[in-house]
Amino acid sequence: MPTRAPRRCTRPGCPGGGGCARHQRPRPTRQELGYDEDWLRISADFLAAHPWCQGCKKRSSKHTDHIDGDTSNREEWNLQALCRRCHGAKTVAHDGGFGRPRTPRPGDESE
């Protein structure tokens, strides 16, 4: 049975494996990203009130999405319930998914 070659550290010259702890970028905590206990409650309440994806209207909602991408804006008009597929598609297209630059939207201060 063929086996996959072991992954190497992405840092040039490092003999470590793919998960080399020395060269991994520290990930911010959910609190640092703006998702505190208050947000978890708001999200759970919103998903309970909106059980179906507001994008495709076919699957059950699993994610509470900020329409304008601003995680500090928790107003109900700025939230939408999305399934995993629709949330992933929106993230890739608008919110800098896969390391892409964030797409400016009307009203963004960066314009």
Report pLDDT for 40. Answer: 95
Alpha helices (H) along 1-111: 37-49, 84-94
SS3 state at 8: strand
Three-state SS at 63: strand
pLDDT at residue 110, rounded to an integer: 45
Residue 57: φ, ψ to 5°: 60, 25
- Enter the pTM of the model: 0.67
Whole-angstrom Cα distance, residue 44 to residue 49?
Answer: 9
Reading the chain (111 residues) residue by residue, the pLDDT tens digits are: 678 777 778 788 888 777 777 878 788 888 888 789 999 999 999 999 999 999 999 999 999 999 988 888 999 999 999 999 999 999 888 766 666 676 665 555 543
> What is the pLDDT at residue 107?
54
